Amino acid sequence: MIPMEQENISSYRKTIVVAAGITVILTIFVIVHYIRIAGRPGTILLPNGSTYLGPNAPRPEADQPLAETGTTNVFTAAADTPWHEVKGNIYPYVMSIPTTLTLVAPEGSNSYDIYAISWGGYDTNSTVLIGVDDLTNNPNTSKYINQPKSRYVNAWWRQFGGLTGVASINQFTNSKGLKGYKAKYVNASGQSPNMDIFFEVPNHPEYMIHLANGILDPAVFDKIVDSVNWGK
């Protein structure tokens, strides 16, 4: 028969071993979870599952259409609707929008000076209209500061898991004299439902004004794009 004292010691040792094992497992789980999330860039979802460099938000694994231009699920404005100017809260960009279009700044988006469209019951994290990409914020984008901005536009999609490539990029100049790029990116479904616009900022190669459209009538969006300017 094993003495009571030896039984207690044996039981105590077993308890220590089990506790140590649980601690190791939990530690490994925490480390793996941290590594998994640490590498995710902060993003904001855009219409139809595209993404926009911005504050922390779920990263899309695949694009899911929310609205398609040409359907009744797009915002439009009558020809006689008044328009008014909207200015950035941090950066001196300015644009004109219909007075019937409501814009909001999504929570946590201040560093990108974002405006999103509040319309149709959509989550404003999925209806971002305009913001500013600061290329100095990310080592993967800072290399484009002193390069032709067409290279940044061509590589922009690589930051996001929901996009697979470039469908088209066309250079243009709006009525305010800003040099821009109209880009369409291919989503995981092989579609290019959205139009992304990038504007170079005069005398500030570290910035790019970025607009995207998924729920605006193309005529409304085009007029907004043509009105974009950068103040002093």
State the CATH number of the domain containing residue 188: 3.40.1000
**Are the C-beta atoms of 96 and 86 separated by less than 8 Å?**
yes
Tell whether 33 and 60 lie within a shared domain: no
Tell whether 199 and 152 lie within a shared domain: yes
Half-sphere exposure of 28 (CA within 13 A, CB side): 6
**Are the C-beta atoms of 176 and 199 separated by less than 8 Å?**
no
Range of the domain at 94: 43-230
Q: How confident is the model at residue 31 (pLDDT cuts 50, 70, 90)?
A: very low
Tell whether 133 and 27 lie within a shared domain: no
Residues 6+ apart with CB under 8 A from 168: 182, 183, 184, 192
| Confidence check: pLDDT of 105 > 50 | yes
Q: How confident is the model at residue 17 (pLDDT cuts 50, 70, 90)?
A: low
Q: How much is the pLDDT for 126? A: 84
Range scoring the smallest mean pLDDT among 99-113, 115-129, 152-166: 99-113
Say how many domains are in the chain: 2
| Confidence check: pLDDT of 1 > 80 | no
Tell whether 108 and 145 lie within a shared domain: yes
Take residue 65 and report the two structure tokens written for it: 């259409």
For 151-207, the pLDDT digits (tens) are 999 999 998 888 999 999 999 999 999 999 999 999 988 998 889 999 999 999 999
Tell whether 28 and 141 lie within a shared domain: no
